[in-house]
Structure 1
């Protein structure tokens, strides 16, 4: 799904969107706001690259980060729910993952990304292992998948 389609679906539903991004560093909200007129449905983007930012900006609990780590579905869920709580958005997407190079582990390999979606129906998560596509490839695949998740959430509403 492309950003233009996501924006049109959000307009039809009258839904504002916000993002909470770690490994993409704002690329998702950047893709959405690249399109002229997006301000009618894009509220804001939280770039929460550090754990401190996750806690301070969107309320991810220290206990969650300690127990499950930054790259976890639990953290992605709290990021998405927190972005919704700290914005005017009715739909949020969050991403946290290992873009590499390096930094991965057997438990959390390079290319693993956890996604969160939060809307009126609740918060749900998804884990995707893209594999080691290189840093730019992982980030691009993450943006594309996040846009797909937003579009799916908007069509299910």
Structure 2
């Protein structure tokens, strides 16, 4: 993908980790994409809420169902059906697939069980995995979040932004 679009610098003030991540990406000439399950587009939305995000935000794939993960990201459907999607290996595969899909430099992926109860594979509510792929770095983190569905989703989205910012600043 070509470098970020011309225009003014992204001002991260008042936009937390999303603003700082976008500003860091713009400074380095990097593009960002997301592949989301648990967060259902919340991560992309937080990034796009930052004025000037179009300078370095390539896009986002909301792949909630197994079939969507398979069709859009190319994940193995039989593996998902047998073992479920709340695993570090799935988050990793989602991040790598988003990098290919959007031909970008940084991809952030989320998968998890938002609740209120465990998923169909017995994974407790509030369990999630985040993966960030940036350059040669690929970091996968397991997250445990408390609260109802909205609280779990918001906490995971925030942790994903924080992790991506740490990886980009390495």
Q: TM-score when scaled to structure 2?
A: 0.85
Q: Which residue of 1 aligns with 2:161?
A: 147
Q: Does 1:51 align with 2:62?
A: no
The Cα shift of 1:2 comes to 2.0
Q: Deviation per CA, 1:58-79: give whole Å up to 9, x if none.
A: 1112243144311111111110
Does the C-alpha gap of structure 1 residues 110 and 32 become closer, same or farther in structure 2, counting only changes over 3 Å?
same
Q: Please give the secondary structure, in 1, of the residue aligned with 2:97.
A: helix
Q: Deviation per CA, 1:76-98: give whole Å up to 9, x if none.
A: 11101101111121000100001
The Cα shift of 1:104 comes to 3.6
The alignment yields a C-alpha RMSD, in angstroms, of: 1.6
Aligned residues: 155
The Cα shift of 1:4 comes to 0.8
Query: After superposition, where does 1:2-151 map in structure 2 within 5 Å?
Result: 2-104=17-119, 107-131=122-146, 133-151=147-165
Q: Please give the secondary structure, in 1, of the residue aligned with 2:102.
A: coil
Paired with 2:121 and 2:33, the residues of 1 have a C-alpha distance of 32
Paired with 2:48 and 2:83, the residues of 1 have a C-alpha distance of 32
The Cα shift of 1:122 comes to 4.3
Unaligned residue ranges in structure 2 (runs of 5+): 1-15
Q: TM-score when scaled to structure 1?
A: 0.92
Give the greater-gyration-radius structure (CA): 2
Q: Is the 8 A contact 2:137 2:167 kept in 1?
A: no
Which contiguous aligned blocks of 4+ residues in structure 1 show a shift greater than 2 angstroms?
Answer: 102-107
